[in-house]
């Protein structure tokens, strides 16, 4: 596996693969790799000639009171994990390399961000779009891979690719979970043992909502009420939201007659966790988005 730290070297490497007519898959991450990331990398190796992964903790997507400085890091372990997962090139630029001077241009998304996590994190997805636009231009992938745990991010990336005509195929893959159902996340390291056990109820609550849809319930309010009640009864943390929206447009629906996302976010003492299920109108899980 090749490790690259500068934009110039990354572009030269991509030009080499393009000259060889190689199809390139790309997995962008912020590091501290877990099974969810590695699953994306392994899937990318099946579908592409060359897999590039990036590790970059992007300061533009963190708010003033968020955990940029505390975001977990382990470059040595990440390198070993990425290589084992089949990554060919690991791009690990510094903040100075990616943003050598204050940017004069600002990207801003107008839709898909006033719900779910976007409501309480103003500017977050603008930062995501900025760094992904830079990475897409640097790496020029044929396919890009995201985990559907961050389903709102996937919906935003879908809009970025569509609006700006990036010749990239977006692939969204299922959430990877721990044995108790807790969605894998780099932030899980901040949970206490009790909180980790409680956090499994995010998924269990969503599953109860899913079962309601399977049973023929079509009114979002009834489903949201059940999921909220279930989670509240089993956690010491505080619910940020439980929402049911169309997907990927992320608009409110009055009845479940299309593909939807049932999602929740919960604040624990030192970690904010998210989880979701993307479902068809019969309540069956969508396992791959593209």
Tell me the three-class secondary structure of 93-110, residue by residue.
Answer: CCHHHHCCCCCCCCCCCC
Say whether pLDDT at 65 is over 80.
no
Known binding residues for beta-alanine: 61
What phi and psi values does residue 89 have, to the nearest 5 degrees? -135, 130
User: What's the average model confidence in pLDDT over 36-45?
Assistant: 97
pLDDT band at 70 (very low <50, low <70, confident <90, very high): confident
Residue 85 in tokens: 């997962």
Mean pLDDT of 54-80: 90
Percent of the chain with pLDDT over 70: 100
Is 86 exposed, middle or buried (CB count within 10 Å of its CB: 0-12, 13-18, 19+)?
middle
DSSP for 211-268, please give it. HHHHTT---HHHHHHHHHHHHHTT-SSEEEEEEEEETTT--B-SS--S-EEEEEEEE-
Contact status, residue 290 vs residue 169, Cβ threshold 8 Å: yes
What band does 252 get if pLDDT is binned at 50, 70 and 90?
Answer: very high
- Which pLDDT does position 216 carry in this prediction? 96
pLDDT tens for residues 72-86?
A: 899 999 999 999 999
In terms of phi and psi (left: phi > 0; alpha: psi -120 to 50; beta: otherwise), the region of 283 is: left
Residue numbers annotated as active site: 37
For the chain, domain boundaries? 2-173, 186-279
Domain 186-279 - what CATH class?
A: alpha beta
221-249 average pLDDT score:
97
Q: What pLDDT is recorded for position 194?
A: 96
In this structure, the chain runs to a length of: 290
Q: What's residue 120's pLDDT? A: 87
The reply to whether the predicted model has a pTM over 0.95 is no
- Above 80 in pLDDT, residue 8? yes
Segment holding 278, helix H or strand E = strand 272-279
- Sorting pLDDT into bands at 50, 70 and 90, what band is 69? confident
CA-CA distance, 268 to 288, in Å (whole number)?
Answer: 29
Q: Which CATH number fits domain 2-173: 3.40.50.620, 3.40.50.920, 3.40.50.1980, 3.40.50.740?
A: 3.40.50.620
Instruction: Provide the token pair at 265.
Output: 């976010």
pLDDT in tens, 132-188: 999 999 999 999 999 999 999 999 999 999 999 999 999 999 999 999 999 999 889
pLDDT digits (tens, 9 = 90+) for 183-219: 999 889 999 999 999 999 999 999 999 999 999 999 9
Least confident of 61-75, 221-235, 244-258: 61-75
Annotated binding site: 30-37, 61, 147-150, 153, 176, 184-187
Rounded to whole angstroms, the Cα distance separating 183 from 35 reads 10
Q: What is the mean pLDDT of residues 232-260?
A: 97
Annotated binding-site members for ATP: 30-37, 147-150, 176, 184-187
Q: What is the pLDDT of residue 117?
A: 93
Mean pLDDT of all residues in the chain?
A: 96
């Amino acid at each position: 596996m090749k490790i690259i730290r500068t934009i110039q070297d990354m572009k030269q490497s991509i030009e080499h693969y393009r000259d060889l007519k190689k199809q390139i898959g790309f997995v962008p991450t912020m590091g501290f790799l877990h099974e969810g990331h590695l699953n994306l990398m392994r899937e990318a190796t099946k579908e592409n000639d060359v897999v590039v992964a990036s590790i970059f903790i992007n300061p533009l997507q963190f708010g003033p009171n968020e955990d940029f400085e505390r975001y977990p890091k382990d470059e040595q372990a990440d390198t070993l994990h990425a290589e084992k997962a089949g990554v060919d090139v690991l791009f690990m630029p510094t903040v100075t390399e990616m943003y050598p001077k204050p940017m004069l241009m600002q990207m801003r998304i107008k839709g898909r961000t006033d719900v779910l996590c976007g409501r309480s994190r103003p500017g977050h997805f603008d930062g995501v779009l900025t760094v992904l636009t830079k990475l897409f231009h640097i790496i020029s992938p044929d396919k890009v891979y995201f985990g559907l745990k961050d389903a709102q991010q996937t919906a935003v990336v879908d809009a970025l690719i569509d609006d700006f005509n990036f010749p990239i195929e977006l692939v969204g893959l299922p959430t990877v979970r721990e044995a108790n159902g807790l969605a894998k996340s780099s932030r899980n390291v901040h949970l206490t043992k009790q909180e980790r056990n409680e956090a499994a109820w995010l998924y269990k609550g969503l599953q109860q909502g899913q079962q309601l849809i399977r049973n023929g319930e079509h009114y979002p309010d009834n489903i949201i009420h059940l999921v909220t009640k279930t989670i509240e009864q089993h956690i010491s943390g505080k619910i940020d939201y439980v929402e049911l929206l169309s997907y990927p447009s992320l608009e409110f629906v009055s009845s479940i007659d299309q593909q939807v996302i049932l999602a929740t976010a919960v604040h624990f003492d030192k970690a904010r966790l998210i989880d979701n299920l993307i479902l068809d109108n019969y309540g069956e899980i969508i396992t791959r988005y593209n």
